[in-house]
Amino acid sequence: MEAYLPTLGSTTAFTSPTKRALFVSVLFVLHGAVSATRAFFLFGDTSVWIMDEDNHTHFVNEAFLMNE
C-alpha cells in the first residue's frame, strides 16, 4: 500500500491562481505587520526607515545614527 502525499495543487486553498495570489498577499501583509510591531517594540518611537545603496530599507534607531 502506497502512502498518499498530497501536492500543493491538490489542496483546495490553491486550486486557482486568484486564491493563490490572495493567500500570498495575506502572508506579505502579516509579515509586514509583524516586522513593524517588532521594530516598534525594539526601538520605540525614535526610529526611522533608511534606504541603503542597494535600495533595501532598514528600520533603525535615531540614537544609532547619531553615533555613526
Q: Kindly report, residue by residue over 10-57, the tens digit of the pLDDT.
A: 555 566 788 888 888 999 888 888 887 777 776 665 667 777 777 777
Buried residues in 24-59 as b, exposed as e (16+ CB within 10 A): eeeeeeeeeeeeeeebeeebeeebeeeeeeeeeeee
> How many structural domains are present in the chain?
1
Residue with cell 486568484: 18
Residue 2 lies in a domain: no
Residue 25 lies in a domain: yes
Asked if pLDDT for residue 7 goes beyond 80, the answer is no
Residue 6 lies in a domain: no
Residue 1 lies in a domain: no
Residue 5 lies in a domain: no
**Tell me, what's the pLDDT at 33?**
84
Quote the domain boundaries for residue 58. 14-67
**Tell me, what's the pLDDT at 2?**
55
Residue 7 lies in a domain: no
**Tell me, what's the pLDDT at 11?**
55
Question: What pTM value is reported for the model?
Answer: 0.41
